[in-house]
């Protein structure tokens, strides 16, 4: 009950932020906001904050231990799903911009992860798959969107400008952008190694004052890195850095992500005053749900029927889709109106499906289900449950 109240309060806050932005834009007659440098920097910063939050959830030890599941989650669960959505949108509307919009809604929102991770709904093995899937889909979706935008602009003839940040619509621009991202990641790695050598390691024989100074230095550096990556739109480099540059932040990451969601929704409301595209948004939402249904089949193969059903109807969008829409609005006008409509469609279907699945759920706890044989086709015969960190941020 308490978790339901918290979720309801957060949903109300998000809706309130969007309405506040819409009312302000309507009363102030705001137009052309998406073209201002301040807006672009703020949108990129929000994206960087969300990306750091998602990459910190990825456990390298779990990646090494369950590499086959990780590969399935990244290739089938993210890339194949994004390609399916983008393909459907392009075939129906024949607009290269639809390729980008299809990728922007391909990830799973943390709310869906938390809802499906309840012990009375899914088994530990299903929650393990979901945790890995959810940890990788945000950074991969962000990177796919950035590079797909360059492809879409090239198909459009570059008439709408250049892709976000340092990316252009020419192969040379893409190579230069890739080199800049890798250089940023390499510099970040060197800074992290210096901090560890100075005594940031847990087992380092340093005094508490030095350790505290090093921790605050690492946090300050992380903030600088996020801001610099947002300024130059080095999202690939930031995603790589998030795999190893991990100072202790406690609940700060979770709260920062929630704050970013509210700010992003407020900005979304500001732009919604320009109108919404109902037809394109509904088609995008239905395509995202259908694509998730298809790709969940090979990922959930070998799981109990109840687990497969919950995973199949687990598509839900939130922070990442909203921020990507904000970032893409400059180069692809109308993105916000389409994505906002799609989010409503996707989340409504998810909520309805969850209610129906709960109503027809067989009695008994999934945790009590018998274990699968050693040759489980999911590749997870001994996988321990990976706790979901998309909503609760542990000390690192």
Would 209 be classed as within a structural domain?
yes
Q: Check: CB of residue 166 under 8 Å from CB of residue 233.
A: yes
How many Å apart are CA 365 and CA 314, to the nearest integer?
19
Would 106 be classed as within a structural domain?
yes
Would 80 be classed as within a structural domain?
yes
How many Å apart are CA 286 and CA 269, to the nearest integer?
23
Q: What is the pTM of this model?
A: 0.76
Higher-confidence residue: 6 or 251?
A: 251
Q: Is the pLDDT of residue 54 over 90?
A: no
Q: Is the pLDDT of residue 395 over 70?
A: no
Does the CA dihedral 4-14-316-128 come out positive or negative?
Answer: negative
DSSP type of residue 385? P
DSSP string, 25-61: HHHHT--SGGGSHHHHHHHHHHHHHHHHHHHTT--HH
> Is residue 396 classed as helix, strand or coil in its secondary structure?
coil
> Is residue 174 classed as helix, strand or coil in its secondary structure?
helix
Read off the pLDDT of residues 292-337 as tens digits, 9 standing for 90 and up. Answer: 999 988 888 888 888 888 888 888 887 788 888 888 888 888 899 9
CB proximity list for 268: less than 8 A, separation 6 or greater: 18, 21, 322, 325, 326, 336, 340
What was the pLDDT predicted at 115?
64
CA separation (Å) from 258 to 10, 64, 394?
9, 30, 15
What was the pLDDT predicted at 349?
93
What was the pLDDT predicted at 113?
67
What was the pLDDT predicted at 342?
92
% of the chain surpassing 90 pLDDT: 16
Would 374 be classed as within a structural domain?
no
CATH of the domain at 239: 1.20.1530
DSSP type of residue 362? P
CA separation (Å) from 297 to 302, 307, 312?
10, 11, 7
Read off the pLDDT of residues 107-157 as tens digits, 9 standing for 90 and up. Answer: 887 656 666 667 777 787 777 777 778 777 878 888 888 778 878 887 877
Would 135 be classed as within a structural domain?
yes
Domain tally, the chain: 1
What was the pLDDT predicted at 345?
93
Q: Check: CB of residue 48 under 8 Å from CB of residue 238.
A: yes
Instruction: Spell out where the chain has E strands.
Output: none
Would 238 be classed as within a structural domain?
yes
The domain of 213 spans 15-363
Q: Is the pLDDT of residue 368 over 70?
A: no
Would 378 be classed as within a structural domain?
no
Average pLDDT in the 243-271 region?
A: 82
% of the chain surpassing 70 pLDDT: 81
DSSP type of residue 372? P
């Amino acid at each position: 009950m308490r978790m339901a109240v918290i979720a309801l309060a957060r949903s109300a806050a998000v809706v309130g932020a969007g309405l506040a932005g819409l009312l302000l834009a309507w009363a102030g007659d705001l137009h052309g906001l998406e073209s201002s440098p301040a807006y672009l920097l703020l949108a990129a910063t929000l994206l960087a904050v969300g990306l750091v939050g998602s990459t910190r959830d990825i456990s390298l030890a779990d990646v090494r231990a369950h590499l086959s599941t990780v590969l399935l989650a990244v290739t089938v669960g993210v890339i194949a799903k994004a390609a399916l959505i983008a393909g459907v949108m392009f075939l129906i509307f024949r607009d290269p911009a639809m390729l980008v919009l299809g990728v922007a809604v391909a990830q799973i929102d943390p709310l869906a992860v938390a809802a499906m991770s309840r012990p009375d709904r899914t088994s530990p093995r299903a929650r393990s798959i979901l945790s890995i899937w959810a940890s990788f889909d945000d950074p991969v979706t962000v990177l796919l969107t950035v590079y797909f935008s360059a492809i879409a602009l090239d198909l459009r003839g570059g008439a709408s400008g250049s892709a976000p940040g340092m990316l252009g619509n020419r192969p040379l621009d893409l190579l230069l952008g890739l080199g800049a991202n890798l250089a940023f990641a390499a510099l970040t790695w060197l800074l992290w190694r210096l901090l560890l050598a100075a005594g940031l390691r847990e087992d380092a024989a340093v005094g508490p004052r030095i350790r505290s100074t090093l921790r605050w230095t690492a946090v300050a550096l992380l903030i600088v890195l996020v801001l610099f990556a947002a300024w130059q739109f080095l999202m690939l480099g930031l995603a790589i850095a998030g795999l190893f540059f991990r100072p202790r932040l406690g609940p700060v990451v979770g709260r920062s992500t929630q704050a970013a969601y509210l700010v992003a929704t407020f900005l979304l409301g500001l732009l919604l005053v320009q109108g919404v595209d109902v037809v394109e948004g509904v088609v995008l939402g239905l395509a995202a749900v259908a694509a998730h249904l298809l790709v969940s089949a090979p990922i959930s193969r070998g799981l109990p029927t109840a687990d497969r059903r919950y995973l199949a109807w687990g598509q839900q969008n939130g922070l990442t889709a909203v921020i990507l829409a904000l970032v893409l609005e400059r180069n692809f006008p109308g993105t916000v109106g389409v994505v906002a409509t799609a989010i409503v469609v996707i989340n409504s279907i998810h909520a309805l499906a969850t209610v129906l699945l709960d109503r027809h759920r067989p009695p008994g706890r999934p945790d009590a289900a018998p274990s699968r044989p050693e040759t489980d086709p999911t590749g997870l015969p001994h996988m321990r449950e990976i706790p979901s960190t998309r909503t609760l941020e542990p000390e690192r």
